[in-house]
Amino acid sequence: MSPASAAAAVGRDRRVVVRGVGAITPLGDDWPASRAALMRGETAVAPVRRFDVTGFPSTVAAAIDRTWPDEDRRRPLALAAAREAWAAAGWAWRAGAAPGRLGVFVGAESGRASFATLLGLARAAGGGARFDHAAFGGGARAFAAAIDAAVLSPSAIAAALAGELGATGPVDTVCLACASGAAAIVEAVRALRAGECDVALCGGVGADVDPLMLAGFGLLGALSARGVSCPFDAGRDGFVVGEGAAMLVLTRGDDGAAHGDVVELAGVGRSLDGYHLTAPEPEGDGAARAMTAALRDAGVDGGAVGYVQAHGTSTPLNDPAEIKALGRVLGSLDRVRVSSVKGAVGHWVAGAGAIGVLCAIEAVGSGSIVPTAGLRTPDAACAADHVIGVGVHADVDVALANAFAFGGANACVVVRRAPGAGAR
């Protein structure tokens, strides 16, 4: 497609439709298996077995019980989800398979060398308060060959996916902590509308069941001391780390549902709290601005939203701030079902927003609304129409997916049933 024809197409239709989705989670190796487990109300939170957690501030996680030869778990996770989404779109996984310019947009944070390698490097540096340059120069050489530079790069995942598919559109890595995956999807929608690409592979990946992440989040006081992920519950005391990947294949819309399109990403919005490094603005001001921007972009009123896949981390401060923001933007929450997937699969950090968008797509596409696993007694400060126990089925024409991050970065996506879509 020439630049002129691309611009003309964008001028005719700003719609962005979902062609395929894929995910690998602690509950399943693909999205259908994961979705079924989520609807049953299952949780993947369990004791960590991959490494010794003696003395750690938390000894549980939502981990994927698989090993790969890659030191960097992000790559096989992202590849599995991307291949599934690509196949669901009806294309073979090979370079040049996309029908037009492909853009790749991935929410990812830096990878990490293995804990054993890091310990070895620390010992080579002297292991004390003073960095011993001479000892490090000699001792660290033994570890140099074991560290793949790509493991430490946030951009390695997007680059790998783009290379395998021969992408010629923009390739973008978004590194915004817990908002990374959703923000990557936002940027994919914007690039498609602008005519920068014809197809977008987008989503997020997180692999944070890791000694450094457990220790780091523990020092911040963000992890559940009870080892339970229970967003919006009166007894919540922090989140549980998890891992997984969720990917989408998007294209610009055409004349209705000519390709069987059922779901479109109708609106996107981003904002910044600018309030605190780890705590949300108590009234949810930044979150409300992002939601309002996404709804305005979609051209829909807050009253049209029937379901919210909440950020819902299970922390004392985040959950009530999000409910306050939802109330300001949507009005009464008595008629809006709310749930958070983090109760079941933990907090994926960079991948969290992407799996949230998949849950919103499922609600609109099939009417399947996942519950908040772990939620038993909703906090009075988090009053809403929570989905508790097992999933429910309902007609949802408009859904909202939220992702809010450390540092105050917010990203929201409005999912809507495509005009002319057939019956569920």
Catalytic residues: 178, 311, 347
Residue type, 140: A
CA distance 81 to 282: 35
Both tokens of 407, joined, read 């540092």
CA distance 297 to 293: 6
Do 330 and 414 contact (CB within 8 A), yes or no?
no
Both tokens of 231, joined, read 């967003």
Question: Which DSSP string corresponds to 314-342?
Answer: --TTHHHHHHHHHHHHHS-STTSEEE-TH
Any idea what the Cα angle at residue 10 is, between residues 8 and 14, rounded to 5°? 150
CB count, 10 Å around CB of 219? 10
User: Closest by alpha carbon to 82, among 38, 31, 39, 34?
Assistant: 31
Alpha carbon of 349 to those of 8, 239, 364, 382: distances in Å? 38, 11, 24, 22
Q: Is the dihedral of CA 163, 165, 167, 172 positive or negative?
A: negative
Do 181 and 403 contact (CB within 8 A), yes or no?
yes
Do β-strands 307-309 and 243-252 pair in parallel, antiparallel, or remain unpaired?
Answer: unpaired
Do 309 and 356 contact (CB within 8 A), yes or no?
yes
CA distance 145 to 94: 30
3-state secondary structure labels for all residues of 36-97: HHHHCCCCCCEECCCCCCCCCCCCEEECCCCCCCCCCCHHHHHHHHHHHHHHHCCCCCCCCC
Both tokens of 383, joined, read 């009053």
